Amino acid sequence: MAREESDALAALLDLSWWQRAWTVQEAVLPKKATLYCGTMQLPLSEVKRAHLMAVSHDRNGCCVTNPQCHDVLYKFWDCIEGFRVLQEESDKDILVRMALEMFRFRHASDRRDCVYAYLGLGSKALADYTIPYETAFNDFAFLVSRLWIVFSGDL
């Protein structure tokens, strides 16, 4: 990967879209998703295809000698691989937990959205913006604990 391509990919991945919690649902739930950047648009399927090509390209070993390129590729893989894993998971009951594990460092302007952004992936729980964020986090922790007990059959 040339420096110019690496810089372009780094600029794309530095956009706030990749750091926002709600964008996980935007990327995972629809059958066809499109990324918009200014006046440009790109089908997410093309981004996923580029991801698979980048993984194949890495097997050549040529980017290992360019640390900047290698770092950008790994950041790209992390972003896209999480979407792929969530889309392919058939067990809806564990999707919320998986999303939180993979995307826990994403941001939201409302702290409650750090939980609510992932509920729509596999939970029937609804967002409640009338409660303080501490209560939302506690309620979510209780929900996850209950699911863990149900699936593991153990405390």
Structure confidence at residue 62 (pLDDT): 63
Q: Is the dihedral of CA 91, 93, 94, 100 positive or negative?
A: positive
Q: How confident is the model at residue 53, as a pLDDT?
A: 82
Write down the pLDDT at residue 50.
85
* Total structural domains within the chain: 1
Of 77, 97, 72, give the one whose Cα is nearest residue 1. Answer: 72
Confidence at residue 155, expressed as pLDDT on a 0 to 100 scale: 56
Find out whether 63 and 1 touch, Cβ atoms under 8 Å: yes
Q: What is the pLDDT of residue 130?
A: 94
- Please list the residues that pair with 151 across neighbouring strands: none
Residue 151's Cβ-side half-sphere holds a number of Cα atoms within 13 Å equal to 11
Residue ranges in the chain whose pLDDT is less than 70: 1, 58, 61-66, 147-155
Question: Which pLDDT value is given to residue 21?
Answer: 92
The count of other CB atoms within 10 Å of the CB of residue 75 is 15
pLDDT tens column, 96-115: 888 888 888 899 999 988 88
Q: What is the mean pLDDT of the chain?
A: 83
Q: What residues make up the domain containing 146?
A: 3-152
Q: Which helix (H) or strand (E) holds 34?
A: strand 34-37
Q: What is the model's pTM? A: 0.73
The residues that bridge with 28 in the sheet, in sequence order, are: none
